[in-house]
Amino acid sequence: MTYLLKNGSVYVNGGFETTDLLVKDGVIAALGKDLCCAEAEVIDCTGKTVVPGLVDLHVHLREPGFEYKETVATGTAAAAAGGYTTILSMPNLNPVPDNVEALKVQLAAIEKDACIHVLPFGSITVGQKGQVLSDIDGMAGLCAGYSDDGKGVQNENLMLEAMELVKKNGSFISAHCEDEALLEGGSIHKGEFAALMNLRGISSASEFVPIVRDIALAEKTGVQYHICHISAKESIEAVRQGKARGVNVTCEVTPHHIALCDMDIKSDDGKYKMNPPLRGREDREAIFAGLQDGTIDVIATDHAPHSAEEKGRGLEKSAFGIVGSETAFAVSYTELVRSGIVSLEKLVELMSVKPAAIIGRKALLAEGEAADIAVFDLEAEFAVDPAEFLSKGKSTPFEGMKFFGRTELTLCGGNIVYRRK
């Protein structure tokens, strides 16, 4: 199909200009004012914002092994509805992609059912058990990188060995940083709300202690090292110091950690339970500062769908994780851009340009580039209704909240993969 997107505010060369965009044969065929094409379907983008398709470095698709939570088909449809055209899928699956044969099971599901680009992670350790390294050499070139997300690698020597292998293969590590010895059986942040509710809390030290360790290892090995879902002020400062020393370290923050702190928890409801937990007010302020000064590189969803039963057991007993693909842009735009914390251009960098760069790709609207495109209506306000989600997961702390920045259209490889009805 050929499409002509007319009169949108298009992200070009780091800024916005009102122009047209012609999509033909999967690529951007032309970019300019007053374009015409007799064979094209004309899509009026007047008053809409056109950006490179969003890139999410952290998604749980749950297939193979946990299809009752999510599938490749439902997870990628949800991502497309959020404006994403490329996502990286985490390896907490069954079978765990810790060798080529297991990884190919996931790749086959992606090939069959994905409506957008999906790049899977291989696991760092066999079975994500933290005992023995996965077939890192064998999976090189078949996976986007390596992660044990959902669990932290507890053994320092094992992580050092993993970094050396990953560095040799020219790939990167995306690390879930969590010291299990410091968890204390907590379910929410060890802070003001936990004390009020008399609940066991998860300390910030459980996150920042392994981050400090791993940054030192990354400095030693020179590996490309990325930190998942950063949440604590001490963690952000450790990354800031590591970058100042020239360490090849990047990190991501989630929309829920941007928008909420522990005192925003309204009830004993599993929709407020995620790992890492919603931190304190001072941590949220540190996130804003980290986004502004470049310490935090990208926004990623940590989209983690579960069944209604798994999320319906209250704060202490519910599974960790919430969905986020379909709300991420709107939450981030509303909380960051409309409040003046970052510019719209900066948000596009955080959600598209920089995550693409981390995986060695380009997110660019220019002639000859792949037509991976998202269109948003920044003035459209909507209330979050999980019943409307395309994801199987419905658990979100944003239920009923209102945000600006509705997805209108998503094209991946020149094909329309989402169009608002």
Closest CA to 335 of 270, 410, 257, 275: 257
Kindly state the helix (H) or strand (E) to which residue 406 belongs, with its residue range: strand 402-412
| Sign of CA pseudo-dihedral 301, 307, 312, 315 | negative
Rounded Cα gap, residues 366 and 357, in angstroms: 16
Dihedrals phi, psi of 80, to nearest 5 degrees = -60, -40
d(CA 357, CA 352): 9
Catalytic site residue 25? Answer: no
| Measured distance CA(76)–CA(120) in Å, rounded | 13
Backbone angles phi, psi at 8, to 5 degrees: -85, 160
Count of beta carbons in the 10 Å neighbourhood of residue 348: 22
Residue 331: enclosing H or E segment and its boundaries? helix 328-332
| AA letter at 321 | G
Distance CA 69, CA 47 (A): 37
CA-to-CA distance for 250 and 349, rounded, in angstroms? 14
- Residue 258 CA from chain centroid, whole number: 13
Identified catalytic residue from 302, 372, 377, 385: 302
Tokens of 249: 């370290």
- What is the distance, to the nearest Å, from the Cα of residue 37 to the centroid of all Cα atoms in its chain? 36
Active site members: 302
